[in-house]
Amino acid sequence: MSPATLLRRLLLAVPTMFGVAVVVFVLLRVVPGDPIAMMIPGEATPEDVARLRESYGLDKSILHQFVLYLGQLVQGDFGVSISLKQDVLELVLGRLPATLELAFVAITLSVTCGFALALAATFWTGSWIESVVDGINSIALAIPEFLWAMLLILAFAVLMPLFPISGRIDPMRATAFTTQFYLLESIVRGEFGLARELLGHLALPAISLALPLIAVIARVLKSSLQEVMVQDYILLARVKGFSDLRILTREALPNALLPTITLTGVHFIFLVGGTVLVELIFAYPGIGNMLFGAASNRDLPLIQGVTIVFALLFILLNIAIEMTYALVNPRLRR
Amino acid sequence: MSVPDAVPILQIENLRVAIHAKGKRTPVLRGVDLRLDPGKILGLVGESGGGKTMVGKAILGVLPESARVESGAIRFEGRDLLAMGANGHRALLGRSIAMILQNPMTALNPAFRIEDQVTDVLRLHAGLGRADARARALEMLTAVHIREPERVLRLYPHELSGGMCQRVVISIAFSCAPRLIIADEPTTALDVTVQHQILRLIRDLQRKTGTSVLFITHDLGVVAKICDSVSVIHAGRILESAPVAQIFSSPQHAYTRALMNAAPRYDRPESALHPVSPELRARLEREAEEDDRRVGTERAHA
Amino acid sequence: MPALLANPRFAFGAFVLLSLVLVAAFAPWLAPHDPMEQSLLNQLLPPRWAKGGDPAFLLGTDTLGRDLLSRMIYGTRPAILVMVAGATLSGIAGVVLGMLAGFFGGWLDALVSRVVDTFMSFPPMLLAIVLAAAMGPGLTTVVISVVLIGWTRFCRVVRGEVLALREQEFVTSARTIGVSRARILFHELLPNLLPLVIVLLGLEMGRAIVVEAIMSFIGFSSSGLATWGAIIADARSYINQAWWAMTYPIVAIIVAVLGLNALGDGLRQATDPVLQR
């Protein structure tokens, strides 16, 4: 994809981001419930309340607030969190790496398992292996992430305590890191024991997130592969004398990738969206988890901040998917 | 004329193939006999659905999943391909036996450049390294009269015309100097002017390399142009086999005659078109069914 | 119609749906105990067939001594409510907007498409949570969440269908005769869309149940009410002492979702002329 197209894509994202900002703003303000009231200790005077309200800009008219809000957003000022008393942007960026690592591990897991299942089902098409893969897919697709998370908790908390079911790492060990990218840092520094522990905590949340995507990828890729395998050029490859394995992986797979990317792209976005719930269930300290606290406290600036960051993530992910598509498609490469 | 006791490069004896699907057995090849001598071009002629493509696929070992070889032998240089086992069979593909497909636009893998697709066979069978394979690929492309072969190597199949794709496919087929090439309707999907060029190309290459060719087609005109001998197939049965001159001057079987009459005469555009008569068809169908019945009772008593 | 009943998926789905509705309707008669009744004597009892189980509490009790079977039975009520209300409203909103956008095109279509894109830029649960933060917990909030999350699905699909149908002869001929556009929308297009919409409804109902479960799990649904999500949430806290408590609602939700998906699948198979071979 040329830089010009990339730029155009990013610019097109602006109106969508604007829409997101509007929706969040509206949702939070057109509703009953006074965040200031929730923060005030009982003995505060009305003047204190008014002053607090003023400092958050909540005393102005809705339209005025909106304009202020937009202005601040554009400058990168997301305001200060009402409940945590810190700069929203800092808070969000502080927790973002955790969510990114979780999403990354989940996506990697999805792609490798999905591909493996699809390739196996196609290579041994018509056998019991394909039936098993189809069965796994149907079940994985039908059960939403939330329930998978519950099932995993049941399995690993009670039946087989193999993985921890909450948190990211033992809080004591957290101080050993300089960045918030714990997993990345531990690998780069070669501390594999630490990395393994981190992965242990990531395992269950990542699996919960990955299962639906694995099923989607496996199903779509298998169907794509089977369509490709009956094409003339595969016949020619066979006549050239290549082994079945090579034909599947070298000749067929690249052709099956394109429709697969188109059809599964949106599910990657769902996966990232699913981190919101999964982080809560497994008490994993990412931005999804932070959203819940913010929601319980009616912390408007923080809710806004997290929502906008998520929207941005989705848009970037969308662009990444389009770029991958353009890269794989030889017709678009020149 | 071929020496009577020379070993044919390809000899098919009483080949019976049937499709087994949904509990039904549908015969496709009913005791096919074919003989192709070394260095010759045999034309296998018949209408669509007559079984000619199946013969090609049986030789190459790429019959569909549901197809079963019930009896017969396919001898390539004396060795029965059907008795060889999948691995033995596959070892011959590409190196000793090659194929030219009907639709050139779909015969090439859209995801790879021409260079990859022409050199991969060379690297697999001839063990050539990248540079050597590339050099040989350039030679091959030149041999099939592709101008600017360096440029073409860098292209993707969707950037080539039908005729150029077919030339590439032909060059792939000839590249490892195979002793037998199965050409399945190689000119059917091309423009008429290009057809002529491709036919000439195949014949020239065949003469230069001494490769034997099984030329599958429904077009008698093509057969007349390049084949040395002809076998006529209908409903999975070989109705007549003869050297090309003989087939055209004195066709023996009614169906052969009907095929020749059915071809439009460009020099006599006002003459009527004569499709194969319904009576002839009915007779041939009956003969096929009798054959099925006979085979059925043989199998039952076996 | 008979073909529909013979379809195994539809039959399974219909059975599940019917069972849910019946259990919900007759809950007061089916449940052996009051779902809210606490009993400190009977805390954390295992199910009847396990050691220490009490025949009065078939599935055991939770940490407050409440009968799990009764809570499960009463849990069907909010589930059905959210399912039906949520999916229906979601469907109406999505279908109407989709039809308008697809039929009239132009700026209306552009606007609706922008709105759809915006909504789809939110992680679904995020919308629900933000809404709950604003509106406070309660079943109404849950239903509105379901609608906000689900309408885009209906809208996109219906819009696509209408775009395709719009060009077909029966529409253009109606226009030439001078049939008003409103009539075309309702009398010509809508009947053609119904099979598709019904299928989507089935799937949406399955999703609605999950949303409800999640919302009550988080605590944003009606507090205290016996919903399956609440049972899961409670059970999570004492999972090491009474792991069975969590399995009942999980299994129930899985069966409900599978059943509703099967219903949708069965409907689609029965009504899709291409698949009818």
Tell me how crowded residue C154 is: count the other CB atoms within 10 A of its CB: 25
How far apart CA B227 and CA B241 sit, in angstroms, is 12
CB C61 within 8 A of CB C68: yes
Mean pLDDT of chain C: 81
> Cβ C130–A295 below 8 Å, yes or no?
yes
CB A153 within 8 A of CB A204: yes
pLDDT-derived band at C276 (thresholds 50, 70, 90) equals: very low
How far apart CA A323 and CA A8 sit, in angstroms, is 13
Q: Which residues of A touch C125 (CB under 8 A)?
A: 273-274, 276-277
Q: So what's the pLDDT on residue B302?
A: 62
Tell me how crowded residue A131 is: count the other CB atoms within 10 A of its CB: 11
> Cβ C133–A28 below 8 Å, yes or no?
yes
**Numbers of helices and strands, H then E, in chain A:** 15, 0
Of B88, B141, B76, B80, residue with least CA distance to B115: B141
Distances (CA, A) of B98 to A239, B209, C149: 6, 14, 57
pLDDT-derived band at B230 (thresholds 50, 70, 90) equals: very high
CB B215 within 8 A of CB B44: yes
The minimal CB distance from B62 to the residues A126, A231, A235 is found for A235
Task: Give the C window 94-153 contacts with A, CB below 8 Å.
Answer: 114-115, 117-119, 121-126, 129-136
> Cβ B90–A243 below 8 Å, yes or no?
yes
Which residue in A231, A233, A325, A334 has the most chain B C-beta atoms within 10 A of its own C-beta, making it the best mutation to test that interface?
A233
Q: What is the DSSP letter of A155?
A: I
Instruction: Report yes or no: A251 at the B interface, CB cutoff 8 Å.
Output: yes
Helix (H, G, I), strand (E, B) or coil at A87: strand
Q: So what's the pLDDT on residue B250?
A: 87
Higher pLDDT, C73 or C51: C73
Least confident range from B120-134, C76-90, C244-258, C262-276: namely C262-276
- What are the tens digits of pLDDT across the range B62-102? 888 888 888 899 998 888 888 888 788 888 887 889 999 98
Q: So what's the pLDDT on residue B215?
A: 93
The minimal CB distance from C117 to the residues A16, A154, A272 is found for A16
Which region, left, alpha or beta, applies to residue C135 given φ > 0 means left and ψ of -120 to 50 means alpha?
Answer: alpha
How far apart CA A208 and CA A136 sit, in angstroms, is 15
Of all residues in chain A, the percent with pLDDT exceeding 90 is 19
pLDDT-derived band at A44 (thresholds 50, 70, 90) equals: low
Which region, left, alpha or beta, applies to residue B148 given φ > 0 means left and ψ of -120 to 50 means alpha?
Answer: left
CB C126 within 8 A of CB A291: yes
Dihedral sign computed on CA atoms, order A173, A178, A179, A185: negative
Burial class of A56 by CB neighbour count within 10 A (0 to 12, 13 to 18, 19+): middle
CB A304 within 8 A of CB A24: yes
Q: Which residues of A touch C131 (CB under 8 A)?
A: 27
Least confident range from A185-189, A260-264, C51-55: namely C51-55
Structure tokens at A58: 């909540």
Q: Which residues of B touch A237 (CB under 8 A)?
A: 109
> Cβ A272–C134 below 8 Å, yes or no?
no
Q: Which residues 6+ apart lie within 8 Å of B73 measured at CB?
A: B11, B12, B13, B14, B15, B80, B82, B83
Q: Is the pLDDT assigned to residue B109 strictly greater than 90?
A: yes
Q: So what's the pLDDT on residue C45?
A: 75
Q: Which residues of A touch B60 (CB under 8 A)?
A: 239
Least confident range from A23-37, A157-171, B223-237, C109-123: namely A23-37
Query: Which helix or strand (DSSP H or E) is residue A97 part of?
Result: helix A88-123
Chains B and A touch (3+ CB pairs under 8 A): yes
- What are the tens digits of pLDDT across the range B252-269? 888 888 888 777 666 666
Mean pLDDT of chain B: 86
Chains B and C touch (3+ CB pairs under 8 A): no
Q: So what's the pLDDT on residue A198?
A: 82
| Farthest-apart Cα atoms in chain C, separation | 77
- What are the tens digits of pLDDT across the range C216-252? 887 777 666 788 888 888 888 887 777 788 888 888 9
How far apart CA B98 and CA B118 sit, in angstroms, is 13
Structure tokens at B266: 């460009």
pLDDT-derived band at A234 (thresholds 50, 70, 90) equals: very high
Q: Is the pLDDT assigned to residue C277 strictly greater than 50?
A: no
Q: Is the pLDDT assigned to residue C206 strictly greater than 70?
A: yes
Q: So what's the pLDDT on residue C90?
A: 93
Q: Which residues of A touch B106 (CB under 8 A)?
A: 231-233
Q: Is the pLDDT assigned to residue B8 strictly greater than 90?
A: no
Here the ipTM equals: 0.86
CA distance C176 to chain A (A): 38
How far apart CA C23 and CA C96 sit, in angstroms, is 33
DSSP one-letter string for chain B: ---TTSPPSEEEEEEEEEEEETTEEEEEEEEEEEEE-TT-EEEEE--TTSSHHHHHHHHHT---TTEEEEEEEEEETTEEGGGS-HHHHHHHBTTTEEEE-S-HHHHS-TTS-HHHHHHHHHHHHS---HHHHHHHHHHHHHHTT-SSHHHHHHS-GGGS-HHHHHHHHHHHHHHT--SEEEEESTTTTS-HHHHHHHHHHHHHHHHHHT-EEEEEES-HHHHHHH-SEEEEEETTEEEEEEEHHHHHHS--SHHHHHHHHHS--TT-TTSPP-PPPHHHHHHHHHHHHHHHHHHHHHHHH-
In degrees rounded to 5, what are phi and psi of residue B98? -135, 175
Q: So what's the pLDDT on residue A57?
A: 62
> Cβ A291–C213 below 8 Å, yes or no?
no
pLDDT-derived band at A323 (thresholds 50, 70, 90) equals: confident
Helix (H, G, I), strand (E, B) or coil at A329: coil
Of all residues in chain B, the percent with pLDDT exceeding 90 is 31
C141: closest chain A residue by CA:
A31
Q: Which residues 6+ apart lie within 8 Å of A320 measured at CB?
A: none
pLDDT-derived band at A332 (thresholds 50, 70, 90) equals: low
Higher pLDDT, C188 or B52: B52
Q: So what's the pLDDT on residue B272?
A: 66
Burial class of B269 by CB neighbour count within 10 A (0 to 12, 13 to 18, 19+): exposed
> Cβ A239–B98 below 8 Å, yes or no?
yes
> Cβ A239–B93 below 8 Å, yes or no?
yes
C250: closest chain A residue by CA:
A147
In degrees rounded to 5, what are phi and psi of residue A162? -95, -40
Of all residues in chain A, the percent with pLDDT exceeding 70 is 86
CB B152 within 8 A of CB B114: yes
Stretch C45-59: mean pLDDT? 74
- What are the tens digits of pLDDT across the range B16-46? 999 988 888 888 898 899 999 999 999 999 8
Entry field: residues in chain C? 277
DSSP one-letter string for C44-113: TPPPTTSTT--TTSTT-B-TT--BHHHHHHHHHHHHHHIIIIIHHHHHHHHHHHHHHHHHH-HHHHHHHH
Higher pLDDT, B192 or C173: B192
